[in-house]
Amino acid sequence: MSKNDQAEIRNEKIGFVFQFHYLLPEFTVLENVSLPAMKLGKKSIEEIHEDAMSRLKLLGMEDQALKKANKLSGGQQQRAAIARALINMPKIIFGDEPTGNLDSKNSHNVFDIFKDLKKEFNQTICIVTHDMHLADQTDRTITLSDGELVKS
């Protein structure tokens, strides 16, 4: 596949949530959440904004939609990043230390969101974490050490 074809598959089929939210501070929350769908280019801007608002509502963030991303708390920024990961209704969401930059309360909230997504939407979620408390709450844990499979 070409690099463009690979990028399109990643954008359409995979959602990413990182330790650092990577929201663009000069854009609103709505604009940040909409970006992957705009890049995909399969819907009108009105449909994309409607979908983005739906994802924000799902995460209790609809009232923050018009705020600049840098005006949100850390937990709100991470929920906005989750909404962004969901915008194209991906087959799988990869979380790279998605709670690593959050306090314990917000970490629990983010993990609860992932559990709700799994239950409500049958969403597949793969999380990489060093937080064993978080890992112990998942359906399946695969442990690696120095790049080697230790336990599955």
Q: What would the pLDDT profile of 77-126 be if each residue is shown by its tens digit?
A: 989 999 999 999 999 999 998 888 888 887 888 888 888 888 888 889 99
Q: What is the CATH number of the domain that holds 16?
A: 3.40.50.300
C-alpha dihedral sign at 131, 137, 143, 147: negative
| pLDDT tens-digit map of 21-50 | 889 999 999 999 999 999 988 999 999 999
- Residue 13 sits in which domain range? 3-151
Alpha helices in the chain (DSSP H): 3-13, 29-40, 45-58, 74-86, 104-121, 132-135
- Which two three-digit tokens encode residue 66? 């018009």
**pTM for the model:** 0.86
Number of structural domains in the chain: 1
